[in-house]
Amino acid sequence: MSQITASKPAAPKGQSLWYLARRRLLRNKAAVTSLIILILLTVCAFAAPHLRPFDIEEVFWDDFSAPPSLGWKEGHWFGTDGNGRDLFVRTMFGIRISLLVGLCATAVSLVIGVVYGAVSGYIGGRTDNVMMRVVDVLYAMPFMFFVILLMTFFGKNIYLMFAAIGAIEWLTMARIVRGQAMSLRHKEFIVAAEALGVSTGSIIKRHIVPNTLGTVIVYVTLTIPAVILTESFLSFLGLGVQEPMTSLGVLISEGAKQMETAPWMLYFPAAILAVMLFCFNFIGDGLRDALDPKDR
C-alpha cells in the first residue's frame, strides 16, 4: 500500500522595512528620474576632462564672451566667459565643488546634530533642558552674518566654508533626532536593555541612533540642496569659492553681471543649479513617502 505524502507549502519569506521602502521608492517615478539625472550630472562633472580637451584656466584669446558653438575640438558647447574660458568645463567643475560643499557640510551637520539630539532626547531631564536652551540661543543668532564674519576674518577658505555651513545646519537636525529619541526611550527594547545593565552610550549607539535613521536620511536629502543654495549665495556675494576654482554660485554671479550682453553665461549654470535642487527635493519627498510607517 503506497503512502501519498502531501508536500508542505513553503513558509512565506519575510520582508524587511528597508526592502519594502526600497520597493516603494523605485515605484516613485519622480524620485527615480531625479536620481538618474543626478547620477548623469555627477558622471559628466567628473568626466569633463575626457569630454572636452580644455583646461579650466585655459584662455581663448579670440573667443571672449563667445556664444555657444558645436564642434568636438574647437567648439564651446556652453560658450565662453568674459575671460575667454570654456564655460562647459567650468560649469562641470562647478558642479563638483557645489556637490562637494553640499555633501561635506551636510556630513558635518549630520554628525553633530545626530549625536547632540540623541544624547539630549534619551537622557532627558535637566540635561535635555540645558542642551535645548543652548540650541534656542544659537537659533536666535544671525548665522548668515556669523558665517560672513567668520570667512572675512579667517580668510576665504573652502574648507572653512564646509565647517561654517555645517555649523549652521546641525541645529534643526538635533531637534529632529531629539524628538525621535524621546519617543524611543520608553519602548520595550530600550527598557529591556536598561534592565540588563547596558551603558547609556551603548544604548544610544546601538538602539537610539539606528532607529532614527529613516527620518535622518529624509532630512539629509533635504539639507543638501539647502547647503548648496547657501554656498551659492555666499559665492554670489564673493565670499565663497575663489579663483582659480569655481562653483555654480560663482558662475551665476559672473553671468548676472553680463546678462544683457552674454545671457548664456547665466542661463547654463542657473539651469543646472535649479535642476539639481529640484532633483534633491524630489528624492527627499520620495524617501519620506517610502519610509512613512503609515504607508506599509
C-alpha 137/C-alpha 133 separation (Å) is 6
Chain Cα centroid distance, residue 216: 12
Q: Are the C-beta atoms of 79 and 265 separated by less than 8 Å?
A: yes
C-alpha 38/C-alpha 131 separation (Å) is 37
Instruction: Tell me the per-residue pLDDT of 16-45, one tens digit each, with 9 for 90 and over.
Output: 666 777 777 788 888 889 889 989 988 888
Buried b (16+ CB within 10 A) or exposed e, 193-225: beeeeeeeeebbeebbbebbebbbbbbbbbbbb
C-alpha 64/C-alpha 88 separation (Å) is 14
- The pLDDT of residue 12 is above 60: no
Per-residue confidence (pLDDT) for residue 231, from 0 to 100: 78
Instruction: Tell me the per-residue pLDDT of 213-231, one tens digit each, with 9 for 90 and over.
Output: 777 887 888 788 888 887 7
Instruction: Tell me the per-residue pLDDT of 121-153, one tens digit each, with 9 for 90 and over.
Output: 888 888 888 988 888 888 887 777 777 776 666
C-alpha 82/C-alpha 75 separation (Å) is 16
Q: Give the 3-state secondary structure of residue 50.
A: helix
Is this prediction's pTM over 0.85?
A: no
Least confident of 71-80, 109-118, 173-182: 71-80
- For residue 195, CA distances in Å to 181, 187, 199 come to 18, 12, 10
Per-residue confidence (pLDDT) for residue 8, from 0 to 100: 52
- Kindly report whether the peptide bond that precedes residue 244 is cis, defined as omega within 30 degrees of 0: yes
